[in-house]
A = this chain, B = another copy of it.
Amino acid sequence: MNIFHLEVLAAVAEYGTFSDAAINLEISQSAVSRAVASLEAELGVPLMTRGRFGAKLTPVGERVIGHSRKILDLKEQIDYEANLEKGLYNSRLRISSFRSAATHLLPANIARFRKQFPHVEVTLAELDPAGVEQSLREGQTDLGLIPLPRSEEFKTWEIARDEYVVLLPKSEPPPPKTLTWDDLSAYSFILFNYAECTSAVRDHWSRWGQSFDVAYVIKEDSTIVSMVAQGLGAAILPRLAALPIPAGVHVRSLPIRLNRVIGAAILASTPPAPAVRMFLDVLREQGKFAA
A interface with B by C-beta (< 8 Å): 1-4, 43-45, 59-60, 62-64, 67-68, 70-71, 74-75, 77-79, 81-82, 84-86, 115-118
Contact = CB atoms under 8 A, between A and B. Distances in A.
Contact of A1 (B4, B62, B81): B4
A45 B2 contact: no
A68 B1 CA distance: 14
Given A1-B3, A60-B84, 9 more contacts: A2-B3, A3-B3, A43-B78, A43-B79, A45-B85, A62-B116, A63-B116, A67-B74, A71-B71
A115 B63 CA distance: 11
Q: Which DSSP category, helix, strand, loop or mixed, fits chain A's interface?
A: helix
A60 B81 contact: yes
Contacts of A64: 78, 81-82
A77 B67 contact: yes
Counting from the closest, the 6 A-B pairs by CB-CB distance are A43-B82, A60-B85, A67-B74, A63-B81, A45-B85, A1-B3
Contact of A44 (B3, B74, B86, B115): B86
A71 to B, nearest CB: 5
B45 A82 contact: yes
Contacts of A59: 115-118
Given A1-B3, A2-B1, A85-B45, A68 B60 contact: no
Contacts of A71: 3, 71, 74-75
Contacts of A116: 59, 62-63
Contacts of A75: 1, 67, 71
Contacts of A117: 59
B67 A78 contact: yes
A74 B85 contact: no
Nearest to A117: B59
A235 B117 CA distance: 74
A211 to B, nearest CB: 54
Nearest to A75: B1
A74 B69 CA distance: 10
A91 to B, nearest CB: 14
A3 to B, nearest CB: 5
Contacts of A63: 81, 116
